[in-house]
Chain A
Amino acid sequence: MQLGYELIREQLFFRKELIERLPWLIRLRWIAAGGGLAGCAAVYFFRQTLPPLPLVLVIFVVLMNNLLFKLIWQYVPPFKYQKDLPLTSSHVFNARDVQSFSFFAHVQISTDLLALFLAVYYSGGIYSPLVHFFIFHIILTGILLPPVSCYLYGILVFLVMGSLLLLQQWSVVPIYPIWFHNTLFSNESGLNEIIFRYFTLGTVILVTAFLVTTIKLSLRTKGRELLQLSKALDESNSKHTALYEMVKEMGLCSEPKALMDSATRQAARIMGVKACSIKLMDEQKRTLRFASTYGLSEDYTKSKDSIDIQKSPINRKIIEGSVCAIGKIEERDYFQYPEDIRKEGIASMICLPLRVDKMVLGVFCVYSDAEHFFTESNVQFFELMSDLTAHEIEKLKTQLNRNWFLQKSAHQLRSPMHTVISMLKVLKNGYLGPMNVRQEETVERCKKRMEMLDSLISDLLRLSISRANLSLDALRPVHAQRVLKSLSGLFETQAREKAVEIAFLIDDELPAIPATERLLDDLFSNLISNAIKYTQPGDRVTVSLARSEEDKIRIEVTDTGIGIPDEAFSHLFTEFFRAENAKLYTEAGSGLGLVIVKEILDQLKGTVTVKSRIGEGSTFTCHFPIR
């Protein structure tokens, strides 16, 4: 079925010339008929002996025919439907589609030849200059139709011309005089010249047919090679596109298991096989275990769950770097228990080391239910896929390790500090006996500085984790209004403690935006706590969340606080920067809050603008896209 489709596709590829030439022939025929009429007029003008009426009639018939052809081309379904069809289309062609074009070409060429015969006959037979036009027809036939048709038309012309000459010689049909000759030519010219002209015409026609068909066959061979090459390129292109999609999907995974599941699923799909598996080596490099499988039964994976590398020569070889491509499971003594593999429906497989530089992580296999399924190019392509997968696994592991380190550092840094703050609180609250005023003040200062350090560490870690997580947290639809609402209580308390008025204007009908709750939580918290921090008691903070333009959501945090001096604007989003008036106003502040805001907006593909006047307040406006 597939082969038949390919053959027809190829045939149609070569018929492309024919399909394009058919309307061209119709256009050309208008010109030829026009030329013929002009010729007749010229002949009439020079008062030649030609019979104008039959020639004009022939041309008229040609014109009528052409009109008919044009209508057929435009309105008869097979041509109408197919003439603009791209050959790369997946439309299933049938043999009739191809045949209808050939038939139409035959009809046109036959009627043209008939018309040309009549024209030749009425303009002097073998002496007519129009006999040269036969060559054009032979060339066209050679190009558009199979070689045998070209030769047959050549022989037909030869035979019909011969018959005409014989009939004229035997006076069965009248002889029409050649142009510019007032007398009948045959008796004067002699038989020898006629025979010479006739055979010259025949030779020219056959040689032309031979040349055209030979060149065409050679072009067709080249065309076939080109078609195969383009098919191979097409396949390779779609495979590489699929590989790109696979790597992209792996890049979005935040868990090694999810990444490997995506790899086995995609590998099986792209390679067009029934199953795929990833086995990873343990720390001691002694055993291999299935880390992810696709298309394998649970019984099979359980029976081979833990493979001792030393006892499995095939796996040992793969770990050492060999590619193992098995065309037929039973062919050689590859396996200890080939019956398990047969039972699973596996007939051939490729197994490769999952390797990053020289470090082997495990074994990557694809399994087919057909024997000798994998070609050499399959193996090479799978090697590429395996290398990319290994790199993605390693990259994710490194990222997770870095995250683990950051989280551990957070705990290690924070624990002693929290203990010190707790102890200071015990001291200050008099659990160890009363303190004098100066002692109490000093303990209070210590506590305050420790709390600032705590907040600096939090900001630093938040920023580092946010940067390290850049590609780990996949964005998904989140309702920003819900995140903001869950925070509003906390900030209302904070504002109340400082006697700052706060108002939340939240649009409940907002669509979800691609984000994570953590990012939005951080973004809103930083903006709002900043606003409260730099606003004096009695002043006001307004937070509004609404839809702005099409596909954008806007959060605007406005305060009537201390404002930002002009010279500070260009440094606002620089690490550890704090404006002079902010430093004077409060000690607390790491100078990282707005950097975090900017990082988050970069991840969400959002923007931030700031408007402020010193002493009057500031407005931070962020926009993020809905899609």
Chain B
Amino acid sequence: MEGVKDILIIDDDKDLVQSIRIILERCNYGVRVAYNGKQGYDKIEAKPPDLVILDVMMATDTEGFDLAYKLKQLPEYRNIPIIMATSFPQAMAEQGPEKFQHILGESWPVSHFIEKPIDPEELLSVIEKILTERKKEQ
């Protein structure tokens, strides 16, 4: 008997968090939310989720990336899959991929990127895919 999957949404945009929560709850996922990196980390520490949906730019431009790198350095949280919700591709097109070389390093801390505005079906299929892969690995 498999339990309800626990998904943590970390984003400073409360309306967006609410939208994602609606989509996920509709599909019977357990949803917890955090509105900044610190809160998010505290909730992960309290109970590691099955998956994290993370925003990039919160209080600082790279708050999401900072948290993702931090999690990847800690053995107990290293394996938590992270979906990064971002306007990143657009930002990349505007500013040029060269500007992101320092972020796009060797060790990529994120399992998947999902572009904002979020498409419910795309989000659900990505979550499904990642969780299935995780299950296979286990």
- Pair B117/A462 contact, Cβ less than 8 Å: no
Q: B22 and A418: CB pair below 8 A?
A: no
Within B75-131, the residues touching A (CB, 8 Å) are 87, 90-91, 93-98, 116-121
Sorted nearest first, the 4 A-B pairs with minimum C-beta distance are A518-B96, A421-B117, A418-B116, A418-B117
Residues of A404-453 contacting chain B, CB below 8 A: 407, 410-411, 414-423, 425-426, 429, 431-432
Chain A, residues 161-188, CB within 8 Å of chain B (1/0): the string is: 0000000000000000000000000000
Kindly state whether residue A399 has any CB partner on chain B within 8 Å: no
Q: A431-B22, A431-B23 are in contact. Are A458 and B120 (CB under 8 A)?
A: no
Q: In the assembled complex, which residues on chain A have CB atoms less than 8 Å from the CB atom of B59?
A: none
Does A425 lie within 8 Å of B93, measured CB to CB?
no
Q: Quick check: is B136 within 8 A (CB to CB) of the other chain?
A: no
Q: Cβ of B16: which chain A residues have Cβ within 8 Å of it?
A: 418-419, 422-423
Q: Which residue of A lies closest to B96 (CB)?
A: A518
A494 surroundings in chain B (CB, below 8 A): none
Judging by beta carbons under 8 Å apart, are A425 and B119 in contact?
Answer: yes
Instruction: Assess whether A522 is interfacial by the CB under 8 Å rule.
Output: yes
Interface core residue of B22, B94, B98 (most chain A CB under 10 Å): B94
Q: Are A465 and B95 in contact (CB under 8 A)?
A: yes
Say if the beta carbon of A516 comes within 8 Å of chain B. Answer: yes
**If the complex has contacts A411-B57, A414-B87, A423-B19, are A518 and B26 also in contact, measured as CB distance less than 8 A?**
no
Q: Does A473 contact B (CB under 8 A)?
A: yes
Q: Please name the residue on chain A nearest to B16 by beta carbon.
A: A419
Cβ contact within 8 Å between A426 and B97: no
Count A/B pairs, Cβ under 8 Å.
Answer: 81
Across the interface, do B98 and A425 meet the contact criterion of CB distance under 8 Å? no
Q: A419-B13, A429-B121 are in contact. Are A516 and B93 (CB under 8 A)?
A: no
B15 within 8 A of A: yes
How far apart are the CA atoms of A508 and B62 in the complex, in Å? 38
Which residues of chain B are near A426, meaning CB under 8 Å?
19, 22-23, 120
Contact A518 B119 (CB under 8 A): no
Instruction: Tell whether A462 pairs with B116 under 8 Å between CB atoms, given A411-B87, A419-B19, A426-B23.
Output: no
Select from chain A the residue with minimum beta-carbon distance to B90: A458
Do A432 and B22 have beta carbons less than 8 Å apart?
Answer: yes
Pick from A415, A454, A462, A473: contact of B13, CB under 8 Å: A415
A546 within 8 Å of B by Cβ?
Answer: no
Q: Are B90 and A419 in contact (CB under 8 A)?
A: no
**Seed contacts A420-B117, A423-B15, A454-B117; 20 additional CB < 8 Å A-B pairs:** A407-B94, A411-B57, A411-B87, A414-B116, A418-B118, A419-B13, A419-B16, A420-B15, A421-B117, A422-B16, A423-B18, A423-B19, A425-B19, A426-B19, A431-B120, A432-B22, A458-B93, A462-B94, A517-B96, A518-B96
**How far apart are the CA atoms of A414 and B94 in the complex, in Å?**
13
Closest beta carbon of chain A to B52's beta carbon, Å: 18
- Residues 517-534 (chain A) with a chain B CB within 8 angstroms: 517-519, 521-522, 525
B-side contacts of A458, CB under 8 Å: 90, 93-94
